[in-house]
């Protein structure tokens, strides 16, 4: 094996390996998706975030428009303080309604934006005022059982 | 082999300041003791290797000959005593000093120790490429000169696996003299060679020594071949020097061990029998070892 | 034999292992310290990348393909019971990128390249080539050990990435082409679920760690081998056994750190 042949093979090997990494990053992973573009930050307070995770998607009309940046507990109001990184290309009205939804019955949770009709737009650092907490399955079930029991009691 | 030595080697030898006339000996070993994990290997060794001479260290296998070479090369450190090479205490040098000294030493290992993944040419060029910044054209000339000196210029393209034992040792010798050493150490250079290769290697040792004006240490148990070429002999047994002298002295030595060794007698101070209980007693006993169950 | 004898043996065993670990760590430190030659004359390392990386390509690519195909079959079988066979892409990609890629590639690397490195260095020691190098004032750690070590560290993440990519392709072949899962949802669900930093990059970090571990064990066992035929064969076996265990143990530790469910 002479030097040129070894160099060629090592070159092919490294190119293949980097190609595979690129494939994993772009085609398998989500490096190309959404968060490549520049973002601006919004905040929102939720009574209960359920199982929302950092880097979960923010969707409007089903399209990913941003990601959850940071989740903290607000010790003064006893609520969750969530920062949202929204794609610069998209603007939302001030009265946008932020909800925590679940994709499918048992899927991962995401933040849904339902735009309102305000003519003024949210700016970087603003807070989304109207929020709805995550639906917690156990709560729904116990509520249902309680109601049912109450109805039975009346009869 | 008359024409085996390249003329350049002879000319250069005349220019070097390592002539036999140089007063102090090249290697001086004084009261050397060495132990592996408190098991003594060498005790009270005194040796002097004068410049320009071929000195043999002889003895049975495992008597500490190779260990002595490793101590001279600085691969081991003595437990006590001193090893002085070219005026420097080997065991007190730092890594850098030791490596600088080793550049002036060549060592021929028992089976040549050629690098198996390189051709003959690259093996000889290895020390030149590692230690000098010479251009490839000059290295080419030097390599061919060294290979010519051992008579293997024509084999420069072969791989070590294609060489016979004698040829491999000659290539290793060419590699050992690549950096023009002051001292060459040979570790069992005659082991396992056919008679022709044996005398070729033997003659090469002598001729290179004289032509390059260097000193040589030959560790061997091949009596007849080495006595033909060496100037002085140290005899070792059980980690001690038991006899020393010129080749002639050794040939007519009275010392029973040396006599047995030189003339290859099967019995003498070194017994044929491994120490054992009386023969008769052992034959009368019932066998105590059961037959291994898997046989 | 008395109880104290057993105790003494146990003590011997433990101190012996600790001594070897200490020696191996000092050896790793020396390898890193003497890496100047391997990096300055990078040609030395490139040559070793050829022997460790390029020559492991075939086994890595073929194994990756088969592992991916098996994942496709088994994953589909399980997922379709819950009516979520489109999630096959997620299953295949996540298991490969997070775990199987780095771990299986490293195990294959240990048995293909690690054992070869040990055997090569061990043979060089047995035939006194390392001693000869030392006597020529060339440091064998710098000249022989360090290039092989770095070649392993460089090759391993590339091989693991190739293994994962090949596996995803195998899963795609079986899942989409053979079974008929919807191609669009296969890829899009995969992309939505596999996070670059969380999954892909962590997998790469894992494989770098495994590469360093395997190379370290391989060069050390070779350098420390008894210079005889039995010694070298024993060292080769030890390389495969020790590095396989080390890979799996390190994988647990790394996984515990990386995927604690943020």
pLDDT in tens, C85-115: 888 888 999 999 999 999 999 999 999 999 9
Residue B1 lies in a domain: no
pLDDT at residue B18 tops 60: no
Q: Domain span at residue B237?
A: 7-284
Residue B290 lies in a domain: no
Closest Cα in chain B, distance from residue C137 (Å): 5
Question: Using CB atoms, which residue from B109, B130, B172 is nearest to C138?
Answer: B130
Count how many pairs of residues, chain B against chain C, have C-beta atoms within 8 Å.
Answer: 52
pLDDT at residue B6 tops 70: no
Q: Buried b vs exposed e over C198-211: b needs ≥16 C-beta within 10 Å?
A: bbbbbbbebbbbbb
pLDDT average, residue stretch B55-71: 85
Q: Could you give the C-alpha distances from A41 to A55, A73, A109, in angstroms and in order?
A: 13, 18, 20
Conformation bin of residue C80: beta by default, left when phi > 0, alpha when psi is -120 to 50: alpha
Binding partners of B (≥3 Cβ pairs within 8 A)? C
Query: What are the phi and psi torsion angles at B192 (to 5°)?
Result: 70, 30
Question: Using CB atoms, which residue from B75, B106, B127 is nearest to C134?
Answer: B75
Residue B256 lies in a domain: yes
Residue B289 lies in a domain: no
* Other CB atoms within 10 A of residue B138 CB: 11
pLDDT at residue B1 tops 70: no
Provide the 8-state DSSP code for A93.
B
**Chain A residues with CB inside 8 Å of C46's CB?**
6-7, 10
List Cβ neighbours of C21 (8 Å cut-off, separation of 6 or more): none
Lowest mean pLDDT among A44-48, A79-83, A103-107, B52-56: A103-107
Lowest mean pLDDT among B63-67, B115-119, C52-56: B63-67
Query: Contact C115/C218 with Cβ under 8 angstroms?
Result: yes
Of the ranges B224-238, C30-44, C139-153, the best mean pLDDT one: C139-153
Task: Flag if C129 and B75 touch (Cβ within 8 Å).
Answer: no
What is the H or E stretch that residue B95 is in? helix B95-102
Strand order in the sheet with B88-89: B39-49, B27-36, B80-85, B88-89
Tally of domains within chain B = 1
Task: Flag if A9 and C204 touch (Cβ within 8 Å).
Answer: no
**Chain C residues with CB inside 8 Å of B98's CB?**
137
Q: What is the pLDDT of residue C83?
A: 79
Conformation bin of residue B76: beta by default, left when phi > 0, alpha when psi is -120 to 50: beta
**Chain C residues with CB inside 8 Å of A13's CB?**
49-50, 53-54, 57, 155, 158
Lowest mean pLDDT among A25-39, A104-118, C4-18: A25-39
Residues A62, A95: Cα–Cα separation, whole Å: 19
pLDDT at residue C174 tops 60: yes
Our answer on whether A and C touch (3+ beta-carbon pairs < 8 Å) is yes
Q: Could you give the C-alpha distances from C83 to B94, C68, C76, C87, in angstroms and in order?
A: 72, 21, 10, 9
Residues B118, B160: Cα–Cα separation, whole Å: 8
Provide the 8-state DSSP code for B252.
T
Residue B294 lies in a domain: no
Lowest mean pLDDT among B122-126, B232-236, C47-51: B232-236
Which residues does B contribute to its contact with C (CB < 8 Å)?
Answer: 73, 75, 98-100, 102-103, 105-107, 109-111, 113-116, 126-127, 130-131, 172, 175, 179
Domain CATH code at residue B173: 3.40.50.300
Residue B189 lies in a domain: yes
User: What residue in B sits closest to C127 (Cα-Cα)?
Assistant: B113
């Amino acid at each position: 094996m002479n030097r040129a042949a070894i160099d060629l093979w090592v070159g092919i090997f490294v190119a293949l390996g980097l190609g595979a990494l690129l494939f994993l990053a772009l085609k398998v992973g989500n490096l190309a998706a959404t968060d490549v573009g520049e973002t601006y930050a919004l905040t929102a307070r939720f009574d209960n975030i359920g199982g929302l995770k950092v880097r979960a998607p923010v969707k409007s009309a089903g399209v990913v428009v941003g990601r959850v940046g940071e989740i903290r507990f607000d010790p003064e109001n006893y609520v969750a303080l969530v920062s949202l990184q929204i794609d610069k290309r998209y603007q939302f009205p001030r009265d946008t309604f932020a909800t925590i939804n679940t994709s499918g019955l048992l899927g991962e949770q995401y933040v849904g934006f339902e735009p309102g009709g305000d003519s003024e737009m949210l700016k970087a650092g603003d807070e989304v005022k109207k929020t709805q907490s995550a639906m917690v399955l156990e709560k729904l079930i116990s509520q249902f059982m309680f109601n049912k029991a109450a109805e039975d009691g009346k009869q | 082999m008359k024409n085996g030595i390249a003329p350049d080697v002879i000319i250069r030898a005349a220019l070097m300041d390592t002539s036999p006339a140089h007063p102090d000996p090249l290697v001086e070993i004084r009261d050397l003791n060495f132990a592996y994990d408190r098991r003594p290997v060498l005790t009270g060794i005194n040796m002097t290797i004068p410049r320009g001479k071929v000195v043999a260290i002889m003895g049975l296998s495992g008597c500490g000959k190779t260990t002595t070479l490793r101590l001279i090369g600085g691969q081991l450190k003595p437990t006590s005593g001193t090893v002085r090479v070219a005026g420097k205490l080997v065991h007190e040098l730092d890594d850098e000093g030791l490596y600088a000294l080793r550049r002036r030493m060549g060592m021929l290992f028992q089976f040549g120790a050629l690098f198996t993944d390189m051709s003959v040419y690259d093996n000889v060029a290895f020390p030149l490429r590692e230690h000098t910044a010479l251009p490839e054209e000059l290295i080419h000339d030097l390599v061919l000169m060294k290979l010519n000196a051992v008579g293997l210029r024509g084999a420069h393209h072969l791989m070590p696996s294609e060489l016979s034992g004698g040829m491999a040792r000659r290539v290793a010798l060419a590699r050992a003299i690549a950096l023009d050493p002051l001292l060459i150490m040979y570790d069992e250079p005659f082991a396992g060679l056919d008679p022709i290769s044996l005398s070729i290697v033997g003659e090469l040792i002598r001729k290179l020594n004289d032509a390059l004006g260097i000193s040589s240490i030959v560790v061997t148990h091949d009596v007849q071949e080495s006595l033909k070429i060496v100037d002085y002999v140290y005899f070792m047994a059980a980690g001690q020097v038991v006899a020393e002298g010129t080749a002639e002295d050794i040939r007519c030595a009275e010392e029973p061990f040396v006599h047995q060794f030189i003339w290859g007698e099967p019995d003498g101070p070194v017994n044929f029998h491994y120490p054992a209980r009386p023969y008769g007693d052992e034959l009368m006993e019932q066998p105590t070892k059961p037959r291994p169950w898997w046989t | 034999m008395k109880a104290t004898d057993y105790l003494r043996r146990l003590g011997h065993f433990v101190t012996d292992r600790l001594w070897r670990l200490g020696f191996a760590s000092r050896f790793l430190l020396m390898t890193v310290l003497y890496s100047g030659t391997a990096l300055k004359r990078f040609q030395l390392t490139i040559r070793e990348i050829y022997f460790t990386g390029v020559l492991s390509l075939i086994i890595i690519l073929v194994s990756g393909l088969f592992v991916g195909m098996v994942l496709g079959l088994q994953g589909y079988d399980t997922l379709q019971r819950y009516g979520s066979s489109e999630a096959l892409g997620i299953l295949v990609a996540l298991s490969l990128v997070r775990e199987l890629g780095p771990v299986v590639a490293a195990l294959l690397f240990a048995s293909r390249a690690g054992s070869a490195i040990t055997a090569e260095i061990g043979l060089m020691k047995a035939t006194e080539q390392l001693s000869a190098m030392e006597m020529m004032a060339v440091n064998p750690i710098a000249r022989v050990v360090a290039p092989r070590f770095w070649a392993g560290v460089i090759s391993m993440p590339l091989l693991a990435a190739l293994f994962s990519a090949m596996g995803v392709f195998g899963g795609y072949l079986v899942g989409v082409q053979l079974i008929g899962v919807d191609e669009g949802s296969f890829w899009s669900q995969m992309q939505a679920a596999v996070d670059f930093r969380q999954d892909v990059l962590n997998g790469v970090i894992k494989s770098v760690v495994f590469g360093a571990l395997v190379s370290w064990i391989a060069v050390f066992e070779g350098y420390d081998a008894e210079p005889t035929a039995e010694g070298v064969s024993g060292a080769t076996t030890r390389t495969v056994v020790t590095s396989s265990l080390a890979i799996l143990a390190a994988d647990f530790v790394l996984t515990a750190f990386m995927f604690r469910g943020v």
